[in-house]
Structure 1
Amino acid sequence: MKLLTLQWGELNAIIPTIFCLMGIWPMIYACLMFADGRMQNFRAWPYFLGSNFTGVICLLPYLIFRKSNQAFYGKKDKWLSILDQRTTGAYLLVATIGLFGYAVIAGNWEDYIQQFFHTPFVHLISLDFCLMCLIFPISLLFDDDMARRGIKDTRIFWVVALFPLFGPLIYLCLRPSLPETFSKQCDATVNTP
């Protein structure tokens, strides 16, 4: 209740930081899922909305049942245009750095470790955070997003994969944008020798 009513002064700063980072992670996934979801048999938005309340539990069905797709066809709508912008990644990165600064300056690690073992909610959000970090590089969603944008350098994949949370955020800040409109005929013309 103290988290939801923003009574953070009464909490160890690490706990609201992890809680807020569990809002950053679904946005990171959304920046990849919404372009991908256009090409799937099911939409990405229900999984995105669910992940804001249940974390990785709602993302897993999308990541498991989606089909690999390395192309984007159609026109970007307003929401997809926002998620595709580098500035969205920059805002998420700045918010994350601020949250980490808050945790480092005002947090108590001994208290956090004790709460991790004795408070189920702290235990749950901490494990959920770790799972979000772990699943990002091993799902094909990230590989497909790189291919969709013409990024073929495997070193970029490993840099993003080896730096949990910050790697994906920096990727969002630096990745090239999708074209505003792209048709299958254009793709066939480009791929024709």
Structure 2
Amino acid sequence: MVRKISFSLLWLGFTIYAFFLAPPEQPGTFELIKNLSTMQWEGVNPLVIALFNLMGIWPLIYSAVVLIDGRGQKIPAWLFAIASFAVGAFALLPYLAIREPNNQFIGKKNTLLKLLDSRMTGVVLTVATAILVTYGLRDGDWGNFVQQWQTNRFINVMSLDFCLLCILFPTLLRDDMARRGWKNPQFFWLIALIPLFGPLIYLSVRPPLEEVVIESISQQPAAN
């Protein structure tokens, strides 16, 4: 119950901040989002470009855990995973508040789960992330980014959303490791304490998820 209340309050607080306390929305925000989405990046700070694209990497990272975790939940996890591509932690926090601890996977992996469970997916995401981070850090203008963070709601909230996604991943990590029979507290904390690349390393090295099929056995009525 404490966990559910904590995630609910965090979601409420983040929502209130984003809509009422964050810097005002600046003219041209919609145009900026459109240009970022269509790769029209001329004149845009590389740090903003990198951050925006990393916010597309994060939902893939979470989907590789949430869609597996959702197999044992009463709520459809895919709804929250899809919504996270648009609104990030705003969509994932309600899932974290509603979900129940789940350290088992029952059933077979469909094509999507096989893809998300593949170590190659983690490797591809890690390489893409490394390219984006290198590009942003090498070519970005930190002074301009800080100024935009202080004055632009979109940049401000997106940055905080990124930080929240870094912080929240360990809440799903322990159950995912348990589903794979992987008991390694030291590795858990290593992954939990490394922002962004910790989860990517985990996806690249975690053992494959074993399929567990429970066959239903029909009971014959007892003879009188």
SS of the residue 1:152 aligns to: coil
For the pair 1:56 / 2:89, whether they are aligned, the reply is yes
* Counterpart amino acid of residue 58 in structure 2: W
Distance 1:9 1:101 in 2: 18
SS of the residue 1:81 aligns to: helix
Instruction: Tell me the equivalent position of 1:89.
Output: 122
Question: Sequence identity of aligned pairs in percent?
Answer: 46
Distance 1:60 1:184 in 2: 31
Matches within 5 A, 1:16-165: 16-137=49-170, 139=171, 141-165=172-196
Deviation at 1:184, TM superposition (A): 4.0
SS of the residue 1:9 aligns to: coil
Deviation at 1:157, TM superposition (A): 0.8
* Counterpart amino acid of residue 88 in structure 2: G
For the pair 1:3 / 2:33, whether they are aligned, the reply is no
SS of the residue 2:183 aligns to: coil
Distance 1:147 1:68 in 2: 11
SS of the residue 1:177 aligns to: coil
* Counterpart amino acid of residue 18 in structure 1: L
Distance 1:64 1:184 in 2: 28
Deviation at 1:16, TM superposition (A): 1.1
* Counterpart amino acid of residue 60 in structure 2: M
Instruction: Tell me the equivalent position of 1:190.
Output: none
Matches within 5 A, 1:169-180: 169-179=200-210
RMSD over aligned Cα, in angstroms? 1.1
TM-score, scaled to structure 1: 0.91
In structure 2, stretches of 5+ residues that fail to align are: 1-30, 216-224
In structure 1, stretches of 5+ residues that fail to align are: 186-193
Deviation at 1:183, TM superposition (A): 2.4
SS of the residue 2:169 aligns to: helix
Distance 1:127 1:69 in 2: 28
Distance 1:57 1:119 in 2: 19
Which consecutive segments of 4 or more residues in structure 1 shift more than 6 A? none
Cα deviation per residue 1:141-161 (whole Å; 9 max; x = unaligned)?
A: 211001001111100111001
TM-score, scaled to structure 2: 0.79
